[in-house]
A and B are shown apart, each in its own frame.
Chain A
C-alpha cells in the first residue's frame, strides 16, 4: 500500500508554499493517501493551512516546545518514528528539506532520492543530474521505504479548498540534546516577497556593477511587486547577501515572471530559473547566453533600460 508522509515547512505562523508543491508531487503517485506532518509549537494555524490543501488525507500535528525552531537534529528522530506507517517520506528540496531528509533517511537505514521532478509510478521517478543538463529515470526498490526530496520548482501548488482532519500526536521518544537553537540573526528584508516563493523575481548580475547600483534592481522589483535575486557573480562581488543567490548553488525557483538584469546566463544560473513561466533578459551583450533561454530579450544598457522600465510600470 502506497502512503506518503509529507513534512510541512513553515515559519511557525505560515505554511511555506513548498509544502503545497510537494502535495502535488505526492498526489501524482499516491492519490489521496497523503498525510502531512506539522512539527511546531502552537502549530494549530499552520496545521489548518495544511488541512486546507486539496488532496490531503490527514494532518498530524506534533506540538511541543522543542519543535518551535526547525532543527533537523531534533525533528529527524520524530519523523523517523512517524515513518513506520508509511511507504514514502517526502520533504521539499529547499534548505529545510535538504537539511532534514538525509538525517531521516540515515535513521531509517535507507538511501535518499533527491529532487524528484516527475513520478511515473510510486517507484519510478525522474530527477536532474549535472545541474539539470541531464535527466535520469530512477527506479526505487518497492520493498524499501523511500525517503525523498521534491524539486518544488517542478510542481504547481496544490489548490486550497480541502478540509483534512487534524490529529494531534504525541511521540514518546527522547529528543537529542546535543543541538539547540540559540538565536536567529538576519539582515533579510521582510518588506519584499520571499525569493523562493515569489511569483515574480527581478535579479541583478555582475553587470549591475556595485552594491549601490542594486538600488535600481530594488526599485524595479518594487514596481513589479517582485522579490529580488542575484547571480553568483553579484553575490561573490559583495553587491548583495548570499541568501539572494539564484542558481545551482543558490535557490532554484519557478516564478511566473523572472527578469534577469545584467546577467550573462552561466549554465549554473540557468539551472535555477529553467521552470520560470516567462524569462525577461536585459543585457548589453547580445551574445550573452541568457538570450538563448529568454522569452523576451532586450539588448540595452541596463542603467537606462531599468530606470525607463520602472517608470513605464509605475505609469
Chain B
C-alpha cells in the first residue's frame, strides 16, 4: 500500500449507523459474573532413572506388577 492510496482512502465517506436503526438487539443472553484463576496442579516427583519411573507408575497402579 502506498502513501497516496492512504491519503485517498482518508477522503472516502464514512457513514455512522445507529444500532437501533438496524432493528437488531445487542442484548447478550450471557453475562460474565466472575473471572478467576484455574485450579493449579500439584508439583509431582522427579525420578532419577527408568527403574524409579516404573516403580512410581506401579505405585499409582498404572502398570502391572
Contact = CB atoms under 8 A, between A and B. Distances in A.
Interface string A208-245: 00000000000000001000000000000000000000
B11 interface: no
A138 B62 contact: no
B31 A139 contact: yes
B34 interface: yes
B46 A138 contact: no
Given A297-B47, A309-B50, A141 B29 contact: yes
A312 B50 contact: yes
B45 A296 contact: yes
B47 to A, nearest CB: 5
A138 to B, nearest CB: 5
Nearest to B28: A111
A162 to B, nearest CB: 28
Given A110-B29, A298-B47, A308-B50, A313 B35 contact: no
Interface stretch (A2-10, A15-23, A127-135): A127-135
A292 B46 contact: no
Contact of B44 (A128, A137, A294, A308): A294
A293 B34 CA distance: 25
Contacts of A293: 41
B8 interface: no
A144 interface: yes
Interface stretch (A59-67, A71-79, A272-280): A272-280
Interface in B37-65: 37-38, 41-54, 56-57, 60, 62-63
Contacts of A224: 63
A257 interface: yes
Contact of A134 (B35, B41, B42, B53): B35
Interface residues of B, number: 30
Contacts of A134: 35-38
Interface in A112-128: 113, 124, 128
Interface of chain B, helix or strand or loop or mixed?
mixed
A200 B63 CA distance: 11
A contact residues, range: 35 or more
B30 A113 contact: yes
Contacts of A299: 46
B33 interface: yes
Interface centre among A128, A133, A295 (most CB of B within 10 A): A295
A278 B45 CA distance: 11
A136 B36 CA distance: 6
A243 to B, nearest CB: 26
A111 B53 CA distance: 47
B31 A297 contact: no
A135 B38 contact: yes
Contact of A274 (B34, B38, B47): B38
A313 B63 contact: yes
Contact of A279 (B31, B44, B48, B53): B44
Given A137-B35, A292-B43, 12 more contacts: A136-B32, A137-B32, A140-B30, A141-B29, A257-B57, A278-B57, A293-B41, A295-B41, A298-B52, A299-B46, A300-B49, A309-B54
21 contacts: A111-B28, A129-B35, A136-B32, A137-B34, A137-B35, A138-B30, A140-B29, A140-B30, A146-B29, A224-B63, A280-B53, A295-B41, A296-B53, A296-B57, A297-B46, A298-B46, A299-B46, A300-B50, A309-B53, A312-B50, A313-B63
Enumerate the 6 nearest inter-chain pairs by beta-carbon distance, A residue then B residue, closest first.
Answer: A295-B44, A137-B34, A141-B29, A308-B50, A144-B29, A139-B31
